[in-house]
Amino acid sequence: MSSTVPYDPEDFDNNPFSEQVIKNVDAGKQPKYSTPQGEHGQSSISSPLQLPTVSNQEQSYHIGTTSVETEVVMPTETEIRQFIPERFNQNRRSITLVITDIEKNGNDSSAFKNPVIKFDAFIKGLNGFRKNLYKDIRRTYKELESFAKYLNINNIEVFVPGLPSIPTLYNMGSPEFRSSVSKLLQEWMNRITKNPILIKDHDFVLFLETNDFSYSPTKTTSQSIVATGLRRKTLKQLAPPFDACRTLAEFRPLIKSLYIISQKLVSLLERIGKLDKNMNGLYSIFYRQLRELSMVELNEDMPRLWTKFEKVMQLFNELDLMKRLSYNSALNECLLLVIRDSFTIKESLTNRHLLMRELSQAKDSARKKFEQVQKLKSKPIIDTLKADEASQSLEAVVALEKELEFKVNRLTYNMLIESEEYLHYFTETVRTLFRTLAYQQIQFERKKLALLANAKLIDVSHSLHRLGRESFPLKKDANRIEAWSGESSSRTTTTADASFERDMQEYETYIDNDFDTVLPVLDPSVQSSKKNIKTQPAGNNLTEFNAKNAATLLGGTTF
């Protein structure tokens, strides 16, 4: 039964709502995730926290109760100053890390599984550092992992880049291995030092100033508002809350699809690598068995041709395997980086959804506390103790609501900026990857062509195109250029001139001889090899000059 005594706000001296007049409170409408600014661009966060007045109470509970949702867009300069002050004038502050060497960690076979990274650091415009230049800093790979994990946990508003893994394609400790590790880790360091929020983390000071091999991250601050463990897994099964930011609402499914597709591609690349190795072994067996066909040759010189063919094809088989492994390894490294980055981004966006759900619950709790205080005020006899407890509870809920609202706005605006940055980075990474893959494939094909070009080291006068034309002069073209390599295929000018003079002498000898020696053997090596050839019958002797033999001779020399 409602009281007939009208409510007088002056009857309760300690009532925090004594100066407030609440009209037309619509309890049926659900609260909206408040935008960071009111109608006139004023922040909804006051410092220090005070008891709700008319203005801030209206802003806390009634600013977002309209049916039209305001879409969150890229932050303005004012919003950056308010929510992300680290990004304002970020060019004045910087950290530059330069890797100088990759050292082994120990003397056993696993010395390079946890290598020592040696680098220098240059500081500009940041407080907390004792000096601006740090030389010869040594950190192990596991220390880098600990540092990356710390940054990811304590900076939930940042898409922390994933730390690349140690490549396994090259031999541990080889120059290629050191170059690959240095390149991957240098890119990771460049990415974390370009983020204005990460470089202001106080643990960066410990990471650079502690002694060698003694870095240990500080104890991570507990994020009580971000669910972890089983509770997090349970909340992730629920539908995400309404998101007023369409860009981030569409960005998370995109990143999740990228994460799943990259995992499938890595699995397929592993299977392809195993099949490539099996195919390489089968080709090797095939070429060895193919060499066994040389036993059917009657000429004693032909088995050497089969042996040479088998060696060349085995070499080409190994080159093809190296080309495929290099191709798969480059793709695998890039996809693993995409998997690590996309997983981090996906979980960061999940943290934002959890904060938004916490904010919605805080708004509901604040509304219930407010209604509870209103009921206490409407009673004819007010219990002062209960009223104090209700007002203190409402104050705590309002403080939590404002804290969550600030965090959600900070996460939203920073993630809007970093989402564009990551898409740009991903595009450039893929372009660089395909450019590198094309260059690698071209280099491997050039190596194969270089091996084939070794056949041209044979004297030109004894190459295959001279078969049947030994009695004709050899034309020399010292300016002939190979189209595929852009290099001259001829030898030095002195060697070419000497060979040309020798061919001219042979040609003059051929002219001076009688017609009964139409096919003279002018080269000593060829002459010695033809001593074993049996003399042909008189009827088939080509040295006899007649029309029939001339026709046969002309037909045979066109090879």
Q: What is the pLDDT of residues 71-107, one digit of tens each?
A: 777 888 888 888 998 888 888 899 999 999 999 887 7
pLDDT at 539: 43
Q: From the CA atom positions of the chain, what is the Rg in Å? A: 41
pLDDT for position 49? 35
312 — pLDDT class (breaks 50, 70, 90): confident
Chain segment 244-293, per-residue pLDDT in tens: 899 999 999 999 999 999 999 999 999 999 999 999 999 999 999 988 88
Q: Which of 267-271, 325-329, 448-452 has the lowest mean pLDDT?
A: 448-452
Does pLDDT of 537 surpass 70?
A: no
pLDDT at 268: 96
Highest mean pLDDT among 328-337, 456-465, 530-539: 328-337
34-41 CB contacts, 8 Å cutoff, 24+ apart: 34/59, 34/60, 34/63, 34/64, 34/405, 35/63, 35/64, 35/70, 35/72, 35/244, 35/409, 36/79, 36/82, 36/83, 36/405, 36/406, 36/409, 36/413, 37/79, 38/63, 41/78
Write the DSSP string, 44-95. S--SS-----HHHHHHHHHTT-SSSPPPP-S--HHHHHHH-GGGTTGGG-EE
d(CA 302, CA 306): 7
| Confidence tier at 67 by pLDDT (50, 70, 90) | very low
Residue 50 has a pLDDT of 38
For the chain, give the mean pLDDT: 75
Rounded to whole angstroms, the Cα distance separating 390 from 396 reads: 10
Instruction: Give me the helix-helix angle, 54-62 and 384-453, nearest 10°.
Output: 50
Burial category of 275 from C-beta neighbours within 10 Å (exposed 0-12, middle 13-18, buried 19 and up)? exposed
Q: What is the mean pLDDT of residues 469-494?
A: 52
HEC sequence for 431-483:
HHHHHHHHHHHHHHHHHHHHHHHHHHHCCHHHCHHHCCCCCCCCCCCCCCECC
pLDDT at residue 344 in the model: 94
pLDDT score of 391 more than 60: yes
**What is the per-residue pLDDT for 385?**
84
Residue 63 has pLDDT above 90, yes or no: no
CATH, domain 88-221, list 3.30.2180.10, 3.10.20.30, 3.30.450.20, 3.30.1520.10:
3.30.1520.10
pLDDT for residue 373: 87
Tell me what pLDDT residue 118 has. 94
Cα gap 400→104, rounded to integer Å = 50
Residue 430 vs residues 111, 238, 262, 326, 437: alpha-carbon distances, Å: 32, 34, 13, 16, 10
Query: Does CATH number 1.10.10 belong to domain 1-70+237-457?
Result: no
Q: Is the pLDDT of residue 504 over 80?
A: no
Average pLDDT estimate for 412-439: 94
State yes or no: pLDDT of 62 exceeds 60. Answer: no
Domain spans in the chain, listed from the N-terminal domain onward:
1-70+237-457, 88-221, 468-556
Task: Name the residue among 261, 327, 315, 537 with its Cα closest to residue 448.
Answer: 315
Least confident of 32-36, 248-252, 306-310, 413-417: 32-36
Looking at residues 340-360, what average pLDDT do you find? 92
- Residue 465: pLDDT above 80? no
Peptide bond into 48 cis (omega under 30): yes
Confidence of residue 23 (pLDDT cuts 50, 70, 90): very low
Q: Report percent pLDDT > 90 for the chain.
A: 36
pTM above 0.85, yes or no: no
In this predicted model, what pLDDT tens digit does every residue of 153-185 receive, in sequence order? 889 999 999 999 988 877 888 888 899 999 999
Question: Is the model's pLDDT at 302 over the cut of 70?
Answer: yes
Give the tens place of pLDDT for each residue, 212-258: 888 888 876 655 556 777 888 888 888 888 888 999 999 999 999 99
Give me the residue label for tokens 């530059």: 96
